[in-house]
Protein backbone atom coordinates (compact mmCIF):
# COMPACT_ATOMS: atom_id res chain seq x y z
CA UNK A 1 0.00 0.00 0.00
CA UNK A 2 1.39 3.39 -0.96
CA UNK A 3 0.82 6.72 0.73
CA UNK A 4 0.06 9.89 -1.21
CA UNK A 5 0.30 13.40 0.20
CA UNK A 6 -2.50 15.59 -1.23
CA UNK A 7 -2.52 18.62 1.08
CA UNK A 8 0.07 21.13 2.22
CA UNK A 9 0.21 23.83 4.89
CA UNK A 10 2.12 27.08 4.38
CA UNK A 11 2.64 29.05 7.65
CA UNK A 12 2.90 32.64 6.35
CA UNK A 13 1.43 34.81 9.12
CA UNK A 14 4.71 36.19 10.50
CA UNK A 15 5.58 39.90 10.51
CA UNK A 16 9.13 39.50 9.12
CA UNK A 17 10.46 42.34 11.26
CA UNK A 18 14.03 41.69 10.06
CA UNK A 19 12.99 43.07 6.68
CA UNK A 20 11.31 46.27 7.83
CA UNK A 21 10.54 48.74 6.35
CA UNK A 22 10.08 46.62 3.19
CA UNK A 23 7.57 44.33 4.92
CA UNK A 24 5.45 47.27 6.10
CA UNK A 25 3.33 46.91 2.95
CA UNK A 26 4.72 43.84 1.11
CA UNK A 27 4.62 40.35 2.68
CA UNK A 28 8.10 38.84 2.76
CA UNK A 29 6.69 35.69 1.17
CA UNK A 30 6.03 37.74 -1.97
CA UNK A 31 9.56 39.15 -2.18
CA UNK A 32 10.98 38.09 -5.54
CA UNK A 33 13.77 35.61 -6.07
CA UNK A 34 14.85 37.20 -9.35
CA UNK A 35 11.32 37.68 -10.78
CA UNK A 36 9.18 35.12 -8.95
CA UNK A 37 7.91 35.39 -5.35
CA UNK A 38 9.37 33.12 -2.68
CA UNK A 39 5.95 31.66 -2.00
CA UNK A 40 5.34 30.85 -5.66
CA UNK A 41 8.53 28.76 -5.73
CA UNK A 42 7.13 26.92 -2.70
CA UNK A 43 3.76 26.29 -4.36
CA UNK A 44 5.41 25.05 -7.54
CA UNK A 45 7.58 22.68 -5.50
CA UNK A 46 4.40 21.31 -3.92
CA UNK A 47 2.71 20.92 -7.32
CA UNK A 48 5.71 18.98 -8.61
CA UNK A 49 5.22 16.58 -5.68
CA UNK A 50 1.61 15.95 -6.72
CA UNK A 51 -0.02 18.07 -4.01
CA UNK A 52 -3.52 19.26 -4.89
CA UNK A 53 -4.80 21.34 -1.95
CA UNK A 54 -3.08 24.39 -0.45
CA UNK A 55 -3.72 25.71 3.07
CA UNK A 56 -2.25 29.13 3.87
CA UNK A 57 -2.01 30.07 7.56
CA UNK A 58 -1.97 33.80 6.94
CA UNK A 59 -2.87 37.12 8.55
CA UNK A 60 -5.46 39.79 7.83
CA UNK A 61 -2.46 42.08 7.42
CA UNK A 62 -1.43 40.12 4.30
CA UNK A 63 -4.32 40.16 1.79
CA UNK A 64 -1.77 40.32 -1.05
CA UNK A 65 -0.95 36.61 -0.57
CA UNK A 66 -4.49 35.58 -1.38
CA UNK A 67 -4.61 38.00 -4.31
CA UNK A 68 -1.38 36.68 -5.81
CA UNK A 69 -2.82 33.19 -6.31
CA UNK A 70 -6.23 34.37 -7.56
CA UNK A 71 -7.16 34.69 -11.24
CA UNK A 72 -7.07 38.26 -12.61
CA UNK A 73 -8.99 38.03 -15.91
CA UNK A 74 -9.18 41.80 -16.41
CA UNK A 75 -5.40 42.19 -16.17
CA UNK A 76 -4.88 39.16 -18.41
CA UNK A 77 -7.18 40.67 -21.03
CA UNK A 78 -5.42 44.03 -20.78
CA UNK A 79 -2.06 42.37 -21.41
CA UNK A 80 -3.43 40.40 -24.35
CA UNK A 81 -4.93 43.55 -25.86
CA UNK A 82 -1.43 45.06 -25.70
CA UNK A 83 -0.04 42.05 -27.55
CA UNK A 84 1.73 40.80 -24.42
CA UNK A 85 0.38 37.25 -24.56
CA UNK A 86 3.50 35.76 -22.96
CA UNK A 87 3.07 37.91 -19.85
CA UNK A 88 -0.65 37.16 -19.74
CA UNK A 89 0.19 33.44 -19.72
CA UNK A 90 2.72 33.92 -16.89
CA UNK A 91 0.04 35.73 -14.89
CA UNK A 92 -2.52 33.01 -15.56
CA UNK A 93 -0.15 30.17 -14.66
CA UNK A 94 0.62 31.51 -11.18
CA UNK A 95 -3.06 31.30 -10.16
CA UNK A 96 -4.43 28.35 -8.20
CA UNK A 97 -7.92 26.87 -8.66
CA UNK A 98 -10.18 28.59 -6.15
CA UNK A 99 -11.47 25.30 -4.72
CA UNK A 100 -7.92 24.11 -4.02
CA UNK A 101 -7.07 27.05 -1.72
CA UNK A 102 -7.96 27.53 1.93
CA UNK A 103 -6.97 30.69 3.84
CA UNK A 104 -6.89 30.45 7.65
CA UNK A 105 -6.03 33.54 9.67
CA UNK A 106 -3.57 33.54 12.56
CA UNK A 107 -3.49 37.14 13.70
CA UNK A 108 -2.00 36.17 17.08
CA UNK A 109 0.96 33.91 16.21
CA UNK A 110 1.81 31.45 18.99
CA UNK A 111 4.53 29.44 17.31
CA UNK A 112 4.88 27.11 14.34
CA UNK A 113 3.05 24.31 16.14
CA UNK A 114 0.05 26.56 16.68
CA UNK A 115 0.05 27.58 13.00
CA UNK A 116 0.02 23.93 11.90
CA UNK A 117 -2.69 23.09 14.46
CA UNK A 118 -4.98 25.71 12.92
CA UNK A 119 -4.98 23.64 9.70
CA UNK A 120 -6.45 20.54 11.39
CA UNK A 121 -9.97 20.85 9.94
CA UNK A 122 -8.72 21.74 6.46
CA UNK A 123 -6.33 18.76 6.44
CA UNK A 124 -8.61 16.19 8.08
CA UNK A 125 -7.52 12.63 8.84
CA UNK A 126 -4.80 12.18 6.24
CA UNK A 127 -1.05 12.74 6.02
CA UNK A 128 -0.01 16.21 4.91
CA UNK A 129 3.00 18.39 4.14
CA UNK A 130 4.26 21.60 5.72
CA UNK A 131 6.59 23.98 3.89
CA UNK A 132 8.31 27.10 5.26
CA UNK A 133 8.89 29.46 2.31
CA UNK A 134 11.83 31.13 4.07
CA UNK A 135 13.85 28.02 3.24
CA UNK A 136 14.48 28.32 -0.50
CA UNK A 137 16.12 25.12 -1.76
CA UNK A 138 17.79 25.09 -5.15
CA UNK A 139 17.94 21.60 -6.68
CA UNK A 140 20.22 21.94 -9.67
CA UNK A 141 19.84 18.30 -10.65
CA UNK A 142 16.77 16.19 -10.10
CA UNK A 143 13.42 16.94 -8.47
CA UNK A 144 12.59 19.40 -5.73
CA UNK A 145 12.76 18.43 -2.06
CA UNK A 146 9.04 17.73 -1.60
CA UNK A 147 9.07 15.40 -4.62
CA UNK A 148 12.08 13.60 -3.13
CA UNK A 149 10.20 13.24 0.15
CA UNK A 150 6.95 12.16 -1.53
CA UNK A 151 8.78 9.38 -3.39
CA UNK A 152 10.22 8.11 -0.08
CA UNK A 153 7.01 8.28 1.96
CA UNK A 154 4.94 6.61 -0.77
CA UNK A 155 6.80 3.41 0.04
CA UNK A 156 6.72 3.95 3.82
CA UNK A 157 3.02 4.17 4.85
CA UNK A 158 2.54 5.55 8.35
CA UNK A 159 5.88 7.35 8.40
CA UNK A 160 6.61 11.03 8.86
CA UNK A 161 9.54 12.89 7.33
CA UNK A 162 11.53 15.97 8.30
CA UNK A 163 13.90 17.51 5.76
CA UNK A 164 17.36 17.67 7.30
CA UNK A 165 20.93 18.64 6.45
CA UNK A 166 24.19 18.51 8.34
CA UNK A 167 25.42 21.84 9.68
CA UNK A 168 28.69 22.93 11.25
CA UNK A 169 29.14 22.67 15.06
CA UNK A 170 28.89 26.46 15.38
CA UNK A 171 25.48 26.42 13.67
CA UNK A 172 23.65 23.75 15.70
CA UNK A 173 22.42 26.28 18.27
CA UNK A 174 20.46 28.02 15.48
CA UNK A 175 18.35 24.99 14.52
CA UNK A 176 16.18 22.19 15.74
CA UNK A 177 18.50 19.17 15.83
CA UNK A 178 17.69 15.49 15.30
CA UNK A 179 18.53 12.90 17.92
CA UNK A 180 18.51 9.55 16.15
CA UNK A 181 20.46 6.35 15.70
CA UNK A 182 19.00 3.91 13.20
CA UNK A 183 19.43 4.68 9.53
CA UNK A 184 17.33 3.82 6.48
CA UNK A 185 19.70 4.44 3.63
CA UNK A 186 20.88 8.04 3.98
CA UNK A 187 17.98 8.89 6.31
CA UNK A 188 18.01 8.93 10.10
CA UNK A 189 15.29 7.38 12.29
CA UNK A 190 14.28 10.08 14.77
CA UNK A 191 14.20 9.39 18.52
CA UNK A 192 13.53 13.02 19.46
CA UNK A 193 14.16 16.60 18.35
CA UNK A 194 16.08 19.17 20.36
CA UNK A 195 15.31 22.85 19.76
CA UNK A 196 18.48 25.00 19.36
CA UNK A 197 20.83 23.11 21.69
CA UNK A 198 24.29 24.47 22.62
CA UNK A 199 26.89 22.77 20.43
CA UNK A 200 28.40 20.83 23.33
CA UNK A 201 25.00 19.23 24.08
CA UNK A 202 23.77 18.70 20.53
CA UNK A 203 22.90 15.02 19.88
CA UNK A 204 23.95 15.37 16.21
CA UNK A 205 24.62 17.97 13.55
CA UNK A 206 21.52 17.07 11.51
CA UNK A 207 19.45 20.25 11.41
CA UNK A 208 15.75 20.49 10.61
CA UNK A 209 15.01 22.38 7.39
CA UNK A 210 11.55 23.77 6.53
CA UNK A 211 9.94 20.78 4.84
CA UNK A 212 7.78 18.20 6.67
CA UNK A 213 5.48 15.32 5.77
CA UNK A 214 3.44 14.40 8.83
CA UNK A 215 0.82 11.91 9.93
CA UNK A 216 -2.51 13.37 11.15
CA UNK A 217 -1.92 12.06 14.69
CA UNK A 218 0.27 15.12 15.20
CA UNK A 219 -2.90 17.23 15.49
CA UNK A 220 -3.99 15.41 18.63
CA UNK A 221 -0.56 16.05 20.16
CA UNK A 222 -0.72 19.73 19.21
CA UNK A 223 -4.24 19.97 20.66
CA UNK A 224 -2.95 18.82 24.04
CA UNK A 225 -0.01 21.22 23.84
CA UNK A 226 -2.29 24.16 23.01
CA UNK A 227 -4.62 23.34 25.92
CA UNK A 228 -1.67 23.07 28.32
CA UNK A 229 0.10 26.18 27.03
CA UNK A 230 1.37 28.37 29.83
CA UNK A 231 1.75 32.14 29.54
CA UNK A 232 3.34 33.30 26.31
CA UNK A 233 5.22 30.07 25.65
CA UNK A 234 5.17 29.20 21.95
CA UNK A 235 3.82 25.90 20.68
CA UNK A 236 6.81 24.19 19.06
CA UNK A 237 6.20 21.82 16.16
CA UNK A 238 9.46 20.07 17.03
CA UNK A 239 8.05 19.09 20.45
CA UNK A 240 4.96 17.60 18.84
CA UNK A 241 7.04 15.62 16.32
CA UNK A 242 9.26 14.33 19.16
CA UNK A 243 6.13 12.96 20.84
CA UNK A 244 4.88 11.51 17.55
CA UNK A 245 8.21 9.71 17.12
CA UNK A 246 7.54 7.68 20.27
CA UNK A 247 4.72 5.78 18.56
CA UNK A 248 5.18 6.32 14.81
CA UNK A 249 8.27 6.12 12.57
CA UNK A 250 9.75 9.56 11.87
CA UNK A 251 12.78 10.02 9.63
CA UNK A 252 15.22 12.86 9.12
CA UNK A 253 15.28 13.05 5.32
CA UNK A 254 18.74 13.94 4.03
CA UNK A 255 17.68 15.70 0.83
CA UNK A 256 19.67 16.71 -2.24
CA UNK A 257 19.75 20.48 -2.80
CA UNK A 258 21.30 23.77 -1.66
CA UNK A 259 19.31 25.57 1.02
CA UNK A 260 19.22 29.37 1.42
CA UNK A 261 17.90 31.01 4.58
CA UNK A 262 15.70 33.75 3.13
CA UNK A 263 14.56 34.72 6.61
CA UNK A 264 17.88 36.58 6.88
CA UNK A 265 18.87 39.49 4.63
CA UNK A 266 22.24 37.98 3.69
CA UNK A 267 20.65 34.61 2.85
CA UNK A 268 17.98 36.28 0.73
CA UNK A 269 20.56 38.25 -1.27
CA UNK A 270 22.68 35.11 -1.70
CA UNK A 271 19.63 33.19 -2.95
CA UNK A 272 18.86 35.88 -5.53
CA UNK A 273 22.39 35.62 -6.91
CA UNK A 274 22.31 31.81 -6.97
CA UNK A 275 18.90 31.60 -8.65
CA UNK A 276 19.84 34.29 -11.18
CA UNK A 277 22.99 32.37 -12.11
CA UNK A 278 20.75 29.44 -13.11
CA UNK A 279 19.11 31.62 -15.78
CA UNK A 280 20.99 31.37 -19.11
CA UNK A 281 19.85 34.84 -20.19
CA UNK A 282 21.26 36.40 -16.99
CA UNK A 283 24.31 34.31 -16.10
CA UNK A 284 27.01 35.81 -18.33
CA UNK A 285 26.13 39.43 -17.63
CA UNK A 286 25.69 38.81 -13.90
CA UNK A 287 29.04 37.06 -13.56
CA UNK A 288 30.72 40.02 -15.22
CA UNK A 289 28.95 42.51 -12.95
CA UNK A 290 29.75 40.51 -9.82
CA UNK A 291 33.41 40.26 -10.80
CA UNK A 292 33.50 44.04 -11.24
CA UNK A 293 31.84 44.68 -7.87
CA UNK A 294 34.21 42.31 -6.07
CA UNK A 295 37.39 43.94 -7.37
- CA-wise closest residue to 133 among 295, 250, 16: 16
Instruction: Give percent above pLDDT 70 in the chain.
Output: 97
Residue 117 burial (C-beta neighbours within 10 Å; 0-12, 13-18, 19+): buried
pLDDT at position 1 over 60: no
Torsion angles phi and psi, residue 291, rounded to 5: -60, -40
Q: Residues for the chain: how many in total?
A: 295
Cα separation, 41 vs 33, in Å, equals: 9
Cα separation, 250 vs 242, in Å, equals: 9
| pLDDT tens column, 108-152 | 878 899 999 999 999 999 999 999 999 999 998 889 999 999 988
Q: Mean pLDDT, to the nearest integer, of 89-94?
A: 90
**Which pairing describes strands 187-195 and 250-254: parallel, antiparallel, or unpaired?**
antiparallel
- CA-wise closest residue to 144 among 293, 259, 281, 256: 256
Domains of the chain: 7-293 (3.90.550.10)
Instruction: Give percent above pLDDT 90 in the chain.
Output: 63
| pLDDT tens column, 21-55 | 999 999 999 999 999 999 999 999 999 999 999 99
Amino acid sequence: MTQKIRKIVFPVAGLATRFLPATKTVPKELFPLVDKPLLQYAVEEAQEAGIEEFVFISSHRKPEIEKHFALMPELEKYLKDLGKDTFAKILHNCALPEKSVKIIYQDDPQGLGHAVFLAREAVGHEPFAVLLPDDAILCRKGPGVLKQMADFIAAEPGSSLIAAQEVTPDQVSLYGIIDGTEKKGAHLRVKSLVEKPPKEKAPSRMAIIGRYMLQPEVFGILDTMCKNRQGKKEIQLTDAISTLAQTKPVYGFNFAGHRFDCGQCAGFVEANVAYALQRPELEKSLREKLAHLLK
